[in-house]
Amino acid sequence: MTKPDSPLWRLGAAAMALATAFALAACGSGAGTSAAPPAAGSHSAHAGGASAPPQPLRAGERFVDLKMAEAYTPAPPEGGGTDEYRCQVIDPGLTKTAFLTGTQVMPENVALAHHAIVYTVPPGGAAAVREQDAKIPGPGWQCFGGTGVKGAEVEEGEATWADTWAPGATETLFTQDVGFKLEPGSLVILQMHYNLLATDGKPGGSDRTALRLRLTDGTPQTRELDTFPLDAPTDLPCPAGESGPLCDRAASIADVTKRFGPDVGESADRQVEECNPGGVPKPGNTQTCDQKVEAPMTLFAGFGHMHLLGRAIKVELNPGTPNAKVVLDVPQFDFDNQRLVKLPSPVEIGPGDTLRVTCTHDAGLRKRLPQLSKLPPRYVVWGDGTSDEMCAGIMTVSPRKS
């Protein structure tokens, strides 16, 4: 998964009316963090639970079943590599305002699907999205680093990251008094990350992913959800005894830029500047980043994302203070079992608070995992490929009044 440029992460300017009681549940998530990690090299084709039956509809809810307009056969980009990000626009056909209270992404070809992101675009951004789609022959368009849409309405922050599918995920289910607001004329952008490691970068079949939306009309008390991203650098040097051209950090960043473009290639240095005093990289398996909270909001849940070298991820509120609180803890990260984890109870945060994300990777796994062991040694930095790495704590929030 990728962190788009910050405008795509809309925090919502208008706070919704405060509901008296609410909670968030990720269907089938359970503890989600206590199972032992798989043995090195056991990452499967990750059929996960993407096609598991959804939970029953609740009063006032309805399902809207959608699908890519046509099947797509992923292929590596011109810069080489074994990954492609493909966006397709899907029209849910809304004629009245609704709230998205659940989503289920169902990849047809799970052997290729690394992850999927569901973006919602309000009516004001629809024209830019359709224009982008019409520019590119065939289904959808390539979209490393975000939606790939440059229209003014979208760039001003109108596209919202509504949900993520990764191996192990089933239906993401919210309670009926919180949801992502969809107005008539809104569109959905489905971003699929396809990985071709198993086929050495060659086309490995087609995919036509399906998407099921759970919608409700909402009430005056329904609170609008949004997404708050927390990223940290990934600076993993080649282990002792390994060498090669890509063991140089600058050379590795240049390779990421070649494969995914400058927006992604600049991520490694940008994150170091934002997260480390003096903007100096701190090579090592564990990386952290603090982010100040600028507006009052309520935390409901969190989703931790890394790639094949990930071992643990944690998000803390106000670390090092008497009021410190862990709001997301995945002590044994499993790439094949990534799920949204609800907080035991909603947590109120606001200006003056700090959220810290901490990720631990294991660079030594590159020699042990079949998918990576045949690749040349490299200094691993942030990148969109499965053979690159990420550290992303994605928090589900709702803006609130002060």
pLDDT value at 340 more than 80: no
Pick the more confident residue, 10 or 192: 192
Integer angstrom CA distances of residue 186 from 45, 182, 222, 264? 34, 6, 19, 27
Listed in sequence order, the residues at least 6 apart from 355 whose beta carbon sits closer than 8 Å to its beta carbon are: 228, 230, 290, 291, 293, 315, 316, 317, 327, 349, 393, 395
The separation between CA 372 and the C-alpha centre of its own chain, rounded to angstroms, equals 22
pLDDT value at 247 more than 80: yes
Instruction: Give the pLDDT confidence score for residue 171 in this predicted structure.
Output: 85
Confidence class of residue 260 from pLDDT cuts 50, 70 and 90? Answer: confident
pLDDT value at 241 more than 60: yes
Residue ranges of domains in the chain, CATH in brackets: 6-225 (2.60.120.310), 227-399 (2.60.120)
Instruction: Give the pLDDT confidence score for residue 359 in this predicted structure.
Output: 98
pLDDT value at 369 more than 60: yes
Pick the more confident residue, 200 or 304: 304
> pTM (2 decimals)?
0.74
pLDDT value at 34 more than 90: no
- Contact status, residue 30 vs residue 170, Cβ threshold 8 Å: no
Is 61 exposed, middle or buried, given 0-12, 13-18 or 19+ CB atoms closer than 10 A?
Answer: middle
Q: Each residue of 46-101: pLDDT tens digit?
A: 434 445 678 899 999 999 999 999 999 988 777 667 788 899 999 999 999 999 99
Residue 51: phi, psi to the nearest 5? -100, 15
Q: Each residue of 262-292: pLDDT tens digit?
A: 988 999 999 999 999 899 999 999 999 999 9
The arithmetic mean of pLDDT across residues 164-192, rounded, is 87
The residue among 258, 307, 252 whose CA lies nearest residue 281 is 252
pLDDT value at 204 more than 60: yes
The arithmetic mean of pLDDT across residues 394-399, rounded, is 91
Instruction: Give the pLDDT confidence score for residue 196 in this predicted structure.
Output: 80
Instruction: Give the pLDDT confidence score for residue 28 in this predicted structure.
Output: 32
Instruction: Give the pLDDT confidence score for residue 100 in this predicted structure.
Output: 94
Mean of all residue pLDDT scores within the chain:
82
Confidence class of residue 175 from pLDDT cuts 50, 70 and 90? Answer: confident
- Contact status, residue 188 vs residue 103, Cβ threshold 8 Å: no
